Structure formats: C-alpha cells, structure tokens
Structure 1
Amino acid sequence: MTDRDWLDWHDDYDRPGSPLRERLLVVRRWIRQALDEGAESVVSLCAGQGRDLLPVLAEHPGRGRVRARLVELDERNVRLARANAPEGVEVVCVDAALTSAYLGAVPADLVIACGIFGNLGDDDVERTVTVLPQLCAPGATVIWTRHRREPDLVPSIRAWFEREGFEHVHLESGDGFCVGVHRYTGPPRGLEPGGRMFTFL
C-alpha cells in the first residue's frame, strides 16, 4: 500500500483550477448523464469521500430509485462519505480491490473507477479492466481516470476495455488528467468472489 494520506489527497478538490477539481467536474458530468439515462445501481471503487457521486445524486430527480455501494478502505474517508450518503447509498470500509466487496451490489448500471489506474502498475491496470465486466450489467457505463504522462498507458487501457467487450463512449484529457467512459456490450459475467484486482503501488 502507498504511504499517501488519502484524507489530505481530497484537499485539491476544493482548490479552484486544480487538475483534480477539473477532473472531478468532468467525472460528475458523466455520472449525471448515466443517471439521466436511467442508471439505478451504482458501485464506486476506491470511493474516497464520495465527492464524485454523492453531490450529483443529491440533486438528481431520480435519486430515490438509485442504490449505490461506495467501497473505500480509509476509515476517515468512510466516515465523511457516510455522513453525506442519502438513503439507498451504503459506504463500506473494505479493500476495493477485492471482488468479494461487491457481493450483493452487482451487476451495476454504473461503475466508477476513478483515481485508481494512476496508482497501479501496468499489469494491475490490465487485470482490473479484465475483471470489470464482472461488476457490470448489460449496457453498464464505466467511468475511469488516468494521467497522460509518458509512457502514456491510455491507448493500451482503451484497447483492453475493447478486448473485454466494452464500447468506447468518450475520452477527455485535461491538465494532467484523462477521463474515459466505456459502455459494456459483452455477455453477462458472474462475479467471482475471492479475487483481487489490484494492489496500489
């Protein structure tokens, strides 16, 4: 595990013009679109304080029909997320890399995998993409993020998604970040409990 303080990491969300805040706004826009299109079940990996999903959900007219599970390991972030979670949203304190963390919450219509790929080795990024179909309902939207620093892994990530039955929807790059959106068009894949998708560097 990394020694980074994942509570302090959220501070840049509140700093106007920061790359992390700009990325957050893009992610929220795509979460809102997924909810507009009828997404009713959501899972968020390494959800932190839920800054991406929870504010969008609070303002969305369809929030009453949405059921979500936010998975986060840092207990401090879990407490903050729980304090802002409306009815229908559960925040669990467990390692988001474990497939068992999603039992009972998948397949989901919206899978949020933001702030993950930039903290993994290349093999773990590929492994995670390979497992993501197990979390997805047919037609599910997956939102993911990654930096564009060299060597740029984004072209490979897109290829891995397409190999696993995902259709490219959108790719948006900003100052130091990239937000990708894919839609799952492959066959249903049952969740395999007991697996591990990744380990943070």
Structure 2
Amino acid sequence: MDWHAWHDAYDLDGSALGRRLHVVQERIVAALDASPPGAVRVVSVCAGQGRDLVGVLSDHPRRGDVVARLVELDPDNAEAARRAAGALGPAHVEVVVGDAAATEYYEGMAPADLVLMCGVFGNISDADIERTVGFCTQLCATDGTLVWTRHRKQPDVFPKVCDWLERLGFVREWVSEPDAGFGVGVHRFAGEPVPLDVGARMFTFVGYDVL
C-alpha cells in the first residue's frame, strides 16, 4: 500500500475520506473551543500528513496554545505533515517518524488534552482495537477528548468500540450517523489516567486491504 498516494483521495470531490476529514476537523475545532485557557496538549496516532489537526490550526485562534506531537511511520507523509506544520507560524507541532503503536513515542506528552486516533481502528484487528482502547486511558488526561474513526462496513464494530470505551470511563460526546458513509466518534475521558506503559505496543498495523 502506498500510504502517501492514499491521501490523494482526501482531495476528490465528494469522497468519503474528504467528508470524514471535514467532520473530524469540526470535532477538533469543538474540542479546542471548549478547552480551558492555557496550553492544549495534543497527540495524533498514525498521523499521516497531519491534515486533520494542521488543517484546523491554520486559522484557529487557539493555535498558539497547542503543543502537539504527530507520530507517523511513513517518512513521506511525515515530511508532508512537517512542511504543513512549519507554515503555521505560532504553533508548536512536532512530527515524529516512528511506529505509532509504540508507547515510547508519547512519553512526555501523555496524558494529553486531545488524542486523535483517526485511521487506526479500520486497519487493525478487533482484538487490537479493544487493546488500544485500553491504552487510551493512558493517553488521555481527565476530561481529555478522544476523536476516533472506524468504518461502518459489516460486520460493524463501531458500536463495540463505543462500548469498550464507555466501560473504561469514556463518556460519549458525539458520533456520526450510521449511514454517513464513515464513522467518527468523540469521547471524553471522565476517569483518572493510568501511567504510560513505556515500551509497550498498542497494536499491530495490518491494513484495511488485508483485513
């Protein structure tokens, strides 16, 4: 899979990816708008080209408050994210090339006020989704926001992901309609974050084309 070329679908008129990106960006805007004054710590898992967060920060009034770390394995995508972030001006966005499943890449940033888990759950096994949900209690600060995605194709795992999150203290804030052509969820963490298990792996990236 050429993950750099895969991002081209975002630019196609009416594409499901483009519509999903728009919704994710709306949810990020809402999270930033609701954040209390001061620094807003953000982590993005499998960040790709960073279009979700960087696209929002380009004209958001809180961009100077954001301290973000984007973790992406593909070096071409990471470089695209780095270039986009560099054009932001007063924003602190770090782009790291590395395996986003490895918890050590979030050391010093977790627990975060906003965690982006977009494009992850559709590319890993159901067992790894549930395992990764458990790690979200390490990544998210109390009252932190988790924005995540998962397609709604059959068998539809989206409701299970909501259940797994809510059993661990996440409160459902918003979910996209089942017939939207994509799935986006927003959960607020109402619990106490668990210390980061540095050196652990959250998931094994398989790819939707294999699954």
1:180 paired residue among 164, 170, 185:
185
Aligned residues: 198
**Distance in 2, Cα, partners of 1:58 & 1:127:** 33
CA distance in 2, matches of 1:66, 1:5: 30
SS in 1 for 2:188: strand
Aligned match of 1:41: 41
Specify every segment of 5 or more residues in structure 2 that has no aligned partner in the other structure, as ranges. Answer: 207-211
Letter in 1 for 2:46: C
Q: How far has the Cα of 1:175 moved from its partner?
A: 4.3
TM-score between the two structures when normalised by the length of structure 1 = 0.96
Q: Distance in 2 between matches of 1:149 and 1:84?
A: 32
Percentage of identical aligned residues: 54
Q: Deviations over 1:89-133 (max 9, x none)?
A: 000001000111101111110000001101111000000001111
Query: What CA deviation, in whole Å up to 9, does each residue of 1:68-90 have, x standing for no partner?
Result: 00000000011111111144100
Aligned equivalent of 1:164, options 161, 168, 174: 168
Matches for 1:99-114 after TM superposition, within 5 Å: 99-114=103-118
Consecutive aligned runs of 4 or more in structure 1 exceeding 2 Å deviation: 173-176
Stretches of structure 1 that go unaligned for 5 or more consecutive residues are: none
**TM-score under structure 2 length normalisation:** 0.91
Instruction: State the shift of 1:146 in Å.
Output: 0.6
1 CA distance for matches of 2:140 and 2:180?
A: 30
Which residue of the partner structure matches residue 75 of structure 1? 75
1:134 aligns with 2:131: no
> What do you get for the CA RMSD once the two structures are aligned?
1.0
1:189 is matched with which residue: 191, 194, 207? 194
2:139/2:193 contact within 8 Å kept: no
